[in-house]
Amino acid sequence: MPQINAGDFRKGIKIIHEGFPYEMIEYNFVKPGKGQALYKTRIRSLLTGTSLDITYRSGDSLEEADIRNADGMYSYFNGSEYVFMDNESFEQVSLAADVCKDVMKYIKEGEPTGLMYWNDQLIGVTPPKHVILEVTYTEPGAKGNTATNVSKSATVETGAEVFVPSFITTGEKIRISAETGEYLGRA
C-alpha cells in the first residue's frame, strides 16, 4: 500500500488507522521552540463516523486507504438496509440503515448516488448536490408575509421536513440541497 508522509497531510485524505479506514477532517502544523515539528490531526472513521484526535511527528508516515468511488443508483429500502445498484457492474449492494444516517432522507428511489467501497465492501453513500422533491404538506402562508424572509416547515415526498419560504404551497416542486437539507428554490 502507498504511504503518506506527514508533510503531505491535507484535509480529505483517506488513511488506515489500526486496520480501519479513516478520513482526515482537520490538521494543524505545530512547530514548538524545541524539538520536532508536530501535526495535530482529527480523523473520522468511515465505518462508524466517530472522530479521533491524533498527533504525528514530522517523520511519520501513514498507510493510504484503498477507497474506490463508483456511480450508483438508489433502488429501494427493505426495512433494515438501503439497496443500491452499481452502475458499472450492475450488481445490487446494500448498506445498513444506521450507517446511512441522515444522508438518505432527501433521496427518492431512482436517484443517482455516489458509492464508496473499501476492500470491495460498500461503506458509504454520497448524495447528489441537489434533488427536486414535491411538497406533500405545508401550512398555508399568511397574507402579507411574502415581502419578508419568513419561513415555515414543509414535508416533502420522502418524509423529510424542510424550512421553505412562506409562499411555497402543497404540491409544488422545490430544489433542496441533499447534503444540508436547505431550500434552494422552486423547480
- Looking at the fold, whether 109 and 134 belong to one and the same domain comes out as no
pLDDT reported for residue 16: 93
- Looking at the fold, whether 57 and 74 belong to one and the same domain comes out as no
Q: Does residue 144 sit in helix, strand or coil?
A: coil
Q: Is the predicted pLDDT of residue 131 greater than 60, yes or no?
A: yes
pLDDT reported for residue 6: 87
- Looking at the fold, whether 151 and 169 belong to one and the same domain comes out as yes
Residue at a domain's end among 64, 89, 109:
64
Q: Is the predicted pLDDT of residue 143 greater than 80, yes or no?
A: no
- Looking at the fold, whether 54 and 18 belong to one and the same domain comes out as yes
Q: Is the predicted pLDDT of residue 1 greater than 90, yes or no?
A: no
| Structural domain boundaries, residue 73 | 67-126
**Is the whole model's pTM more than 0.85, yes or no?**
no
Q: E-assigned strands of 31-178?
A: 38-45, 51-57, 61-64, 67-77, 81-86, 92-96, 112-118, 121-126, 130-138, 151-156, 161-165, 173-177
Provide the Cα torsion 118, 124, 129, 130; round to 10°: 150
d(CA 159, CA 3): 44
- Looking at the fold, whether 76 and 53 belong to one and the same domain comes out as no
- Looking at the fold, whether 137 and 122 belong to one and the same domain comes out as no
CATH number of the domain residue 59 falls in: 2.30.30.30
Domain count, the chain: 3
- Looking at the fold, whether 55 and 74 belong to one and the same domain comes out as no
CATH number of the domain residue 174 falls in: 2.40.50.140
- Looking at the fold, whether 8 and 46 belong to one and the same domain comes out as yes
- Looking at the fold, whether 30 and 55 belong to one and the same domain comes out as yes
Residue at a domain's end among 42, 64, 86:
64
Contact 129, 178 (CB under 8 A): yes
Q: Is the predicted pLDDT of residue 176 greater than 90, yes or no?
A: yes
DSSP one-letter code for 79: S
- Looking at the fold, whether 87 and 44 belong to one and the same domain comes out as no
d(CA 152, CA 112): 29
pLDDT reported for residue 145: 56
- Looking at the fold, whether 147 and 169 belong to one and the same domain comes out as yes
pLDDT one-digit tens code per residue, 17-68: 999 999 999 999 998 888 888 999 999 988 887 899 999 998 899 999 989 9
- Looking at the fold, whether 110 and 139 belong to one and the same domain comes out as no
User: What is the CA 127 to chain-centroid distance, rounded?
Assistant: 6
d(CA 88, CA 90): 6
Assigned C-alpha cell, 82? 438501503
Residue at a domain's end among 108, 126, 144:
126
Nearest in space to 116 (alpha carbons), one of 133, 103, 132, 131: 103
Average pLDDT in the 78-89 region?
A: 91
Confidence bin at 180 (pLDDT 50/70/90)? confident
